[in-house]
Structure 1
Amino acid sequence: MQQQATGYAWQFFRAGGVEQVAIRTGQDIANIASLDQKLWVALACPTRGIEFDPATLDLIDKDHDGRIRAPELIEACQWAVAQVRHPDVLTSGSDVLQLSNLDTEGASGAALHAEALRILRLLGREGASTVTLADVRERLTMLNALAFNGDGLLNPVKLPENDARKALVQRIMDLYGSAVGVDGEPGMGRAQLDAFFADVRAIHAWHAQAGQHHCVLASQAQAVAAAQALTAIQAKVEDFFARCQLAAFDARALAPLSPSVEGYALLGAQQLSLASQAIADLPLAPISADCVLPLAEGVNPAWADALHALRTHAVAPVLGGDVQVLTASQWAALKTQLAPCQAWLAAFPASPLGAMDAAEAQALLDSGEEAALQALIAHDTEEKSHGEQATALEKLIRLQRDLLRLLNNFVSFADFYNRGEAAAFQAGTLFLDGRSCDLTVDVADPGAHAMLAGLAKVYLAYCECRRGTDKRHIVAAFTAGDVDYLMVGRNGVFYDRTGQDWDATITKIIENPTSIGQAFFSPYKKFLRVVEEQVAKRAAAKQETVTSGMDSTAGKLVDMAKPATAAAPQAAARKTDVGTVAAIGVALGSISAVMVGIFGKFIELGPWIPVALLGIILAISGPSMLIAWLKLRQRSLGPILDASGWAINGRMNINLRLGGMLSQTAKRPASATLRMGDPYADGHKGRWATGGALAVVLLLALCWRMQWLDAVLPTDWQHGAPAAIAQGSVANAADATSAGDTVRDH
């Protein structure tokens, strides 16, 4: 393995306003551990939900938690570098391994080289200089299909022909569990086999102690039957004698310790059977001070069978004779003599085998199956080293093919910022609303994802994609173009990385500005939408009023056609209120005066009119553009990926130029031509003529106000002409007065 260079000269590149490390050579891979992790773009990523071979990710994921972390990636790089002669081999991107590239001077490299030669020999390609990923996968598939595949497990289906042995292995798996082998099938391991025969030996030893329990009954079968009969009813008999002895101590206790009449009345109200718990809870027999338990007659019917078994298997063989009743002293003697039998029964080994008899236990131990199965497991284990080396060889070939790409989607995002190749987290391309969105990410839970992804300051559309019975969720970032027609329910087509098309439907939207231009027109569009909505509401209300009035009028006409039984007084006709009309006229006159005043003041601005227009536009669009500018500067890829399970370490900005490349609107090809004639175009001639005439009038008024037309207009029409004429008249009058005064003086 090559030593890490503490002062390794890394190269960085800048893309989208973000500085990232460039990983291109084998030396870069060899020294990845020396790169400060604060400079890594990501520190963890999921093994699923990204466009990357999951088998490669699973081989890197050592703890099998479904995530790749920085230490695991560093360890994979170091391990791969240690297996080859030169680390540049790991940048080839090929799944064909040259055997000459393996470092046979190291123990692990030599073992991989030997396993590669063995695989080629088994595949009939002995002498070949290369081994491919397909070769290794074929060998592993063949190995997994064999009965002895190196996993140390015995699969009863794959065992050689021996039905009894297969049945035994299956029985052990059913009772003691199984493990999943490399072929994905359950099998029996050494642990299950050892546990099974350990329990068999314990049961065999318990049966061997039958003659050592010192029970008064010579026969083992009699001892077992007596002990079982005693144990089954012992607690109930103890209860009976305790009640009797207490009644003998004090006669007043006899009634409370016996079932009451009220209790029997409650039982009588129920539907009873001998299996009822209420009957079983009653004493074995009537309580009396003489403390004698009848065994045949006058006993609780729920316990009659148990008392009969006690009398037959325990009382009669131990106490002898035809015993009909049992005294307290006899009961104590019976317990003492059968106590060793009970202790022996209680010592029966508890195991999944249950009540195995002595003959079956002895047959299993004498069959030799334990040794045979141990030998088969040992033989299977011998193949384990070959399976491990084949798996390691597969890992090396996969890392040779995928490691550089993984680093460029983990340590840096070179693939994302190099638009020639999609990044691993990009799920595909969404076509919707006349544009394509390349920044799409698979989402497991859209609701949970949106809580964090909203911090990205990006316009996001969550879509449900369906293809037949398959369904998936994605989030698409709209980073350019307008968003006027993006709404929940709109349909599009999503193409995944393999080219398959999915029906996509927007289910949720997180709104954010997409460009400064879109923010400029946003207030005007919102204003027009509000106006349209208000007009639509008022029109609907007016229509409802008119319809209601027409219904009322029609009803009155119908009523007038009916014969009147009594003349109803007609309502006086409503007269127009003159005051209301006058008030409306005054209001309209005031509004007109204000509008004329505003327009006059605006015209008086003269050369400052363009500045005023610009100020009005900035006052309306300026706040929206400022907010959009601030949000566009904060657009980031990080929260989108963090919400998908990544641990993004760097600030992955999405500037305007990158955003314009991620979302591209429809454009005609440069070589295409457009035929302007539209046979279905709406006619707007009158509208355009009116608008044009109004524009001409406004332009002429502006030119007249600015005195640009004085050179071509008559004196009376020129701006300021009336004032000049008035001033001239005043001057002439003054001159005439002065002349008259002069004449009088003379």
Structure 2
Amino acid sequence: MITGTHNGHTWHFSTIGGVKRVNIDTANDLVHLKDLDPKLWTALSCPINGLEIDPKTLALIDTDNDGQIKVPEVIDAVNWMVSVLKDPGDLLLQNEHFPISAINDATEEGRTLLESAKVILRTLGKTHEQTLTVEETGDTKKIFATTLFNGDGIISEDATTDATLVQLMKEIMQHAGSVTDRGGKEGISTDILNAFFEQCQQYVAWQAKRENAPDTITPLGAHTDAAYNNYLAIKAKVDDLFIRCRLAAFDPASAAVLNLQTERVAQITTRDLSAAMDEIATYPLARIEAGRSLPLTTGINPAWEAQMHTFRQLTASKLFPGKDSITEQEWNGLAAVFAPYAVWLAEKGGNKAEPLGLDRVREILAGDGKERLAALIAEDNATAQEANNIIMVNKLVRYYRDLYKLIRNFVTFFDFYTPGSKAIFQAGTLYIDQRSCDLCIKVSDIARHNALAAFSGMYLLYCDCTSKATNEKMTIVAALTNGDVDNLVVGRNALFFDRQGNDWDATIMKIVENPISIRQAFFSPYRKAVNFIETNVNKMAASQDEKVVANMNTNIESLPAKAEESKEKKAPAPPFDVGKFVGIFAAIGLALGAIGTALASVVGGFMKLTWWKMPLAIAGLLLVISGPAMVIAYLKLRKRNLAPILDANGWAINANVVINIYFGKTLTQLAELPDGSRVNINDPFTKKKQPIWPAVFLFSVMAGVALYLLIKHKILNIHF
């Protein structure tokens, strides 16, 4: 441990994960945390989401609401807790239950918080208790449920017993909306109140325009709205009729074409015409003739008779009394008649107040309801400070429980390097291939992980996880730091347990390969050689199989032709030319000879070694093959660093988060039989062994060694 004094405080440091990290384990450490050089902090920033710590607590610490917690915000949170607690060392306890006696009542803020805490206890019916929990202080609905005013600027129906105001509030919430107050009740705010009365004023002003010019805006009186809607419904069809009539006047021969074609009628005459009204509605409104007027009584398309009857009753009977038809010019004049009404409709305001009716809206505007409701809202706002103090108690209780946990995982990463503990970024445990991986981290940005994961130097498994219980999905990255990787491939399934014990179905979707252990590196060249041989043997076997199948198919297809050729005398096969293959045989012989000579030299040289040098020669050969892979693996394993993975998740890591070989073994546990287990080795599915052959082999080896020793002794003229 290293110590150092700064601003009168002695800091203690420990080497953890190859880095000197400060110890935060006393009240004085917390008091002087503001004096600690940020360069000595393990992290400078972390996200508020995706961590195993209450996100509501982190949101309170994140005072600038940018989704990240930074060094100054941690210091501000610690300084505030130091100022409101009698003993800052209480934070080290991380207690779920906050004793209100711990509040420093020697300061004004402390006395205010203490009084607010007592109010919460009384509200919750816990007057005889002296502790609070996060669940209790965070339940604002329950705390403010019995209070008329809670300082949020929102009033509900419970704020008054005046029936007139209650009715007005109901109308406002129904037609202008509502918001939920701290007590969980629906109510209105100043914005909603002002918006409602603005709607009322707009609606009354709009109606006043019509009342001031009734003859212009509503030429048909109370029926103007219905008449205008009917006019819009038939306008396109009537305009189509007059255009067709003008075309018939332009070219009389086109009248037959413009009229209803006989073929179209013939197609529907065999059907129930009452069910073909949609088809009939597409026919012209009336018969096409040059210079024809719009008929109002007879000769109208049956599908349009009802609407034309309405037009005659509401509009034509008032503007064209006694007429059975109107000309095109008279029809076009209706646009000018309805134009002021159309403009007035377009200027309509106060839609939200309209359902109340004009009389009720005017009654509301004439009364003093707005002023009285505004006074109630002002009265509620007057209690804002007291209510906010109650909210601050929730902040106090949350910090009391969670702040030191954040410090241990932000300033020092103490929880990560402590056996039996888990850091706040460790999401759970992945079980796969007879092992459990404890270093599992939620992936928030897969693109950034793709760019940074390779710099970690770790063997990583990216898994898509799905919870069948909640239908939630997430992606995690698990670090494999122990065991082998022979059976790990993309697509394999696994099981992930989160920190709450919930199980998730996991599937490997990406693998980042890096060394796992020196043992694995030792065998990696041989595995690669075996894989290479297997791959090439499989290729050769597959190729040969394809040739055999192809030859067989060719022979089968040529059978008829060969049957006919058999009747003819076959030409004799050419004689075997020995000279042609002499060179080939000679080359093969030379190659085999060279290989045999090399093997003989190796074996001969090995046999000439003194007996104690033989194991060394074998070990040397193994080192030549596996040594480079082991050295490379050792160098990489020493530098495995979690920082790039955390950086990809939004952290700003300020120091190496090294995972050395020994520490890595604690993060991935291999399957082991429990102590005291009994194993039945009689496997019924194992091939029965023949003990004679191992005995023969062992005897041959021993005889060979004895013969070698006898020969060596004879050469050295050693006599028994």
Larger mean CA deviation between 214-223 and 634-643 belongs to: 214-223
Residue 255 of structure 1 pairs with residue 250 of structure 2: yes
Sort the Cα spacing of 1:619 and 1:392 in 2 relative to 1 into closer, same or farther, 3 A.
same
Sort the Cα spacing of 1:703 and 1:148 in 2 relative to 1 into closer, same or farther, 3 A.
farther
Residue 398 of structure 1 pairs with residue 393 of structure 2: no
Residue 417 of structure 1 pairs with residue 412 of structure 2: no
1:356 deviation in Å?
A: 6.3
1:109 alignment partner AA: G
Question: Where does 1:515-594 land on structure 2 (aligned, <5 Å)?
Answer: 515-532=517-534, 588-594=592-598
Question: Where does 1:609-648 land on structure 2 (aligned, <5 Å)?
Answer: 616-648=621-653
**1:723 aligned partner:** none
**2:440 aligned partner:** 440
Match of 1:652, SS?
Answer: coil
**1:215 aligned partner:** 215
Match of 1:441, SS?
Answer: strand
**2:273 aligned partner:** none
1:199 deviation in Å?
A: 1.4
Distance 1:100 1:672 in 2: 51
Match of 1:215, SS?
Answer: helix
1:419 deviation in Å?
A: 2.0
Contact 2:248 2:255 in 1 (8 A): no
Residue 650 of structure 1 pairs with residue 650 of structure 2: no
Residue 596 of structure 1 pairs with residue 591 of structure 2: no
**1:90 aligned partner:** 91
1:523 deviation in Å?
A: 0.5
Match of 2:415, SS?
Answer: helix
Larger mean CA deviation between 194-203 and 34-43 belongs to: 34-43
Match of 1:199, SS?
Answer: helix
1:81 deviation in Å?
A: 3.1
State the Cα deviation string for residues 434-490 of structure 1 (Å, max 9, x = none).
544322223467787455433311112344667763566543222233333444566
**2:198 aligned partner:** 198
Q: In structure 1, which of residues 651, 654, 661 is the aligned counterpart of residue 666 of structure 2?
A: 661
1:438 alignment partner AA: D
Larger mean CA deviation between 358-367 and 655-664 belongs to: 358-367
The RMSD of aligned alpha carbons is: 5.8
**2:477 aligned partner:** 475
- 5+ residue gaps, structure 2, are 1-5, 269-275
Larger mean CA deviation between 229-238 and 129-138 belongs to: 229-238
Contact 1:285 1:300 in 2 (8 A): no
Contact 2:459 2:511 in 1 (8 A): yes
Percent identical pairs in the alignment equals 33
Question: Where does 1:230-379 land on structure 2 (aligned, <5 Å)?
Answer: 232=232, 255=250, 296=296, 325=326, 344-349=344-349, 351-353=351-353, 357-362=357-362, 364-365=364-365
Residue 109 of structure 1 pairs with residue 115 of structure 2: no
1:393 deviation in Å?
A: 0.5
Match of 1:396, SS?
Answer: helix
**2:3 aligned partner:** none
Contact 1:443 1:474 in 2 (8 A): yes
TM-score by length of 2: 0.74
State the Cα deviation string for residues 584-629 of structure 1 (Å, max 9, x = none).
6665445323422443456568798777656543432233223313
Distance 1:315 1:673 in 2: 103
Distance 2:234 2:679 in 1: 106
Distance 2:695 2:531 in 1: 23
2:700 alignment partner AA: A
TM-score by length of 1: 0.72
State the Cα deviation string for residues 680-724 of structure 1 (Å, max 9, x = none).
68456524643663476378658957x78513369xxxxxxxxxx
Distance 1:643 1:84 in 2: 37
1:53 deviation in Å?
A: 2.4
**1:710 aligned partner:** 716
Distance 2:30 2:309 in 1: 85
Residue 59 of structure 1 pairs with residue 60 of structure 2: yes
Contact 1:151 1:384 in 2 (8 A): yes
1:219 deviation in Å?
A: 8.7
Distance 2:237 2:432 in 1: 84
1:516 deviation in Å?
A: 2.4
1:15 deviation in Å?
A: 0.9
**2:693 aligned partner:** 686
Distance 1:179 1:54 in 2: 24
Match of 1:480, SS?
Answer: coil
1:642 deviation in Å?
A: 3.0
Question: Where does 1:441-456 land on structure 2 (aligned, <5 Å)?
Answer: 441-443=441-443, 449=449, 452-456=452-456
Distance 1:464 1:677 in 2: 38
Distance 1:500 1:464 in 2: 15
1:637 deviation in Å?
A: 0.6
Sort the Cα spacing of 1:451 and 1:179 in 2 relative to 1 into closer, same or farther, 3 A.
farther
Distance 1:431 1:160 in 2: 60
**1:13 aligned partner:** 14
Match of 2:45, SS?
Answer: strand
2:415 alignment partner AA: D
1:383 deviation in Å?
A: 6.2
Distance 1:331 1:492 in 2: 77
Distance 1:429 1:339 in 2: 74
1:596 alignment partner AA: A
1:164 deviation in Å?
A: 10
Sort the Cα spacing of 1:454 and 1:218 in 2 relative to 1 into closer, same or farther, 3 A.
closer
Distance 2:477 2:332 in 1: 81
Contact 1:214 1:340 in 2 (8 A): no
**2:272 aligned partner:** none
State the Cα deviation string for residues 640-661 of structure 1 (Å, max 9, x = none).
2233443333221111222133
2:250 alignment partner AA: A
Distance 1:358 1:487 in 2: 73
1:89 deviation in Å?
A: 3.6
Contact 1:285 1:293 in 2 (8 A): no
Distance 2:424 2:546 in 1: 57
Sort the Cα spacing of 1:173 and 1:692 in 2 relative to 1 into closer, same or farther, 3 A.
farther
Match of 1:416, SS?
Answer: coil
Sort the Cα spacing of 1:565 and 1:130 in 2 relative to 1 into closer, same or farther, 3 A.
closer
Q: How many residues align?
A: 690
Match of 2:44, SS?
Answer: strand
1:654 alignment partner AA: I
Match of 1:68, SS?
Answer: strand
1:404 deviation in Å?
A: 0.9
1:416 deviation in Å?
A: 0.8
Distance 2:171 2:504 in 1: 48
Contact 1:258 1:287 in 2 (8 A): no
